[in-house]
């Protein structure tokens, strides 16, 4: 019961998390403004802010705020430089890592190609390198604190946020990704770092909502654009996971032709029509080290090759057909296209818009804006790092002693 929701410590954590979320979501504020924002008393806010300043989680902002009357007050801003969330992505042909502090500043970011079938081992090596880097820069026991780590994967993850249920393009066993990262981090940072596993589209959607093309959007849909196709469904910036945590597995909707064979072993999956391999087959170009490199090469060829542009138009049409189903069900304000879609831009998105317009069920419906993602294939690792910090902003983890 110690530290639970009904205890004094639980109440303090909950109130602290309210202040932290206000600073994260709405920017610097004076103590009086924080009290007005959060509904907490000025005295409570004062005690919380003093503790956060002592822990170097917040610091005075640069500008004074003139009040309606009386002396100017200096706002505080979230720094959080000593509290870190770590994120990884394991995908078919690359691994990525990101480290983010409480203010949302990305402290480390790296992406590298991997050989097919060796991704889990490469993930472990990358996690070990990240742990070594954090340890050397003060991220060990005597310096910055790693709040948690999250691994993003292209597939279904159970509600425990640790057990892999189905990854048709990777064939990963149960909790092996979480154990691999736990062991790699624990060798350097100690065994106290909680490691979660999450869906790559959910994580990338979280990153685009916080840092990219879905900022300030109430209802958004994020579509990955790698070997696999998945969706992150955003409501007020937070992914909707569904009853079992499996929401968004759109790549295997039966939206392609019956001859389109998917990596899951079936035919007719949407992924088999608009995934990276389908796009490369449509334009007659080889796959390179990463989805980004492949898409960049196709974009260059498309400038001078009409056949490549025709292939991209066909993929864009299939993309729009699939989006029409999702839009009719979910009614998003914005659809963010990540991965290779973002690199190819209007060569794919323009025909998708045309197909989507033609297939909306009612003339009163407004086509959502189709936006290329801003964060590239690193989005899922960044979103995974943000997910690792959520227990702090939810009041589940104490920052103050």
Specify the higher pLDDT residue, 172 or 232: 232
Q: How far apart are the first and last CA of the chain?
A: 18
The predicted pLDDT at position 238 comes to: 86
Q: What is the pLDDT of residues 142-167, one digit of tens each?
A: 467 899 999 999 999 998 899 999 99
The predicted pLDDT at position 81 comes to: 81
* pLDDT surpassing 80 at residue 324: yes
Q: Which residues contact 370 (CB under 8 A, 6 or more apart)?
A: 323, 334, 335, 337, 349, 352, 353, 356
pTM score? 0.91
Beta-bridge partner residues of 391: none
pLDDT band with cut points at 50, 70 and 90 for residue 55: confident
The label of the residue with tokens 């706002």 reads: 75
Give percent of the chain with pLDDT exceeding 70: 94
* pLDDT surpassing 60 at residue 118: yes
The predicted pLDDT at position 143 comes to: 62
The predicted pLDDT at position 46 comes to: 94
Q: Cα-Cα-Cα-Cα dihedral of 128, 392, 109, 228, to 10°?
A: 90
Q: What is the pLDDT of residues 253-263, one digit of tens each?
A: 999 988 889 98
Specify the higher pLDDT residue, 252 or 144: 252
pLDDT band with cut points at 50, 70 and 90 for residue 63: low
Average pLDDT along the chain:
91
Average pLDDT over residues 224-239: 92
Average pLDDT over residues 52-61: 90
Least confident of 112-126, 275-289, 344-358, 374-388: 112-126
Cα separation values, 271 from 106, 116, 140, 341, 345, Å: 31, 19, 42, 13, 18
Average pLDDT over residues 370-388: 96
The predicted pLDDT at position 140 comes to: 47
The predicted pLDDT at position 2 comes to: 43
Average pLDDT over residues 26-55: 94
- Residue 293: CB atoms within 10 A of its CB come to 17
Question: Phi then psi for 174, rounded to 5 degrees?
Answer: 35, -115
Average pLDDT over residues 57-85: 76
369-372/334-337 β-pairing: parallel
* pLDDT surpassing 80 at residue 109: yes
How many angstroms separate the CA atoms of 96 and 67, rounded?
A: 46
* pLDDT surpassing 70 at residue 291: yes
Residue 146 carries which DSSP code? E
The predicted pLDDT at position 71 comes to: 54
Q: Which residues contact 30 (CB under 8 A, 6 or more apart)?
A: 65, 67, 73, 74, 75, 76
The predicted pLDDT at position 141 comes to: 42
């Amino acid at each position: 019961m110690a530290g639970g929701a009904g205890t004094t410590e639980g109440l303090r954590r909950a109130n602290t998390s309210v202040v932290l979320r206000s600073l994260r979501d709405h920017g610097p504020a004076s103590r009086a403004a924080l009290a007005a924002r959060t509904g907490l008393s000025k005295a409570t806010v004062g005690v919380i802010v003093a503790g956060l300043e002592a822990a170097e989680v917040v610091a005075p902002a640069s500008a004074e705020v003139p009040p309606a009357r009386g002396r100017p007050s200096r706002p505080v801003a979230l720094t959080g430089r000593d509290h870190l969330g770590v994120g990884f992505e394991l995908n078919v042909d690359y691994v990525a890592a990101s480290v983010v502090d409480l203010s949302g500043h990305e402290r480390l970011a790296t992406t590298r190609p991997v050989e097919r079938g060796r991704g889990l081992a490469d993930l472990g090596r990358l996690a070990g390198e990240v742990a070594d880097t954090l340890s050397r820069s003060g991220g060990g026991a005597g310096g910055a604190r790693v709040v948690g780590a999250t691994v993003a994967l292209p597939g279904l993850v159970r509600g425990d946020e640790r057990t892999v249920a189905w990854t048709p393009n990777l064939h990963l066993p149960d909790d092996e990704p979480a154990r691999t990262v736990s062991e790699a981090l624990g060798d350097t940072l100690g065994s106290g770092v909680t490691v979660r596993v999450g869906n790559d589209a959910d994580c990338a959607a979280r990153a685009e909502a916080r840092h990219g093309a879905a900022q300030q959007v109430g209802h958004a849909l994020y579509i990955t654009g790698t070997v696999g196709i998945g969706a992150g469904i955003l409501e007020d910036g937070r992914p909707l996971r569904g009853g079992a945590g499996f929401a968004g597995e759109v790549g295997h909707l039966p939206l392609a032709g019956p001859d389109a064979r998917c990596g899951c072993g079936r035919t007719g999956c949407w992924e088999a029509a608009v995934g990276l391999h389908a796009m490369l087959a449509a334009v007659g170009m080889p796959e390179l080290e990463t989805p980004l490199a492949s898409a960049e090469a196709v974009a260059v060829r498309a400038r001078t090759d009409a056949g490549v542009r025709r292939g991209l138009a066909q993929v864009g049409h299939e993309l729009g057909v699939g989006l029409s189903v999702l839009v009719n069900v979910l009614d998003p304000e914005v659809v963010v296209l990540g991965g290779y879609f973002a690199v190819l831009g209007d060569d794919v998105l323009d025909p998708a818009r045309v197909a989507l317009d033609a297939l909306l069920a009612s003339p009163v419906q407004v086509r959502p804006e189709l936006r290329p993602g801003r964060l590239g294939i690193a989005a899922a690792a960044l979103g995974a790092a943000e997910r690792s910090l959520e227990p702090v902003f939810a009041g589940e983890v104490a920052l103050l002693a």
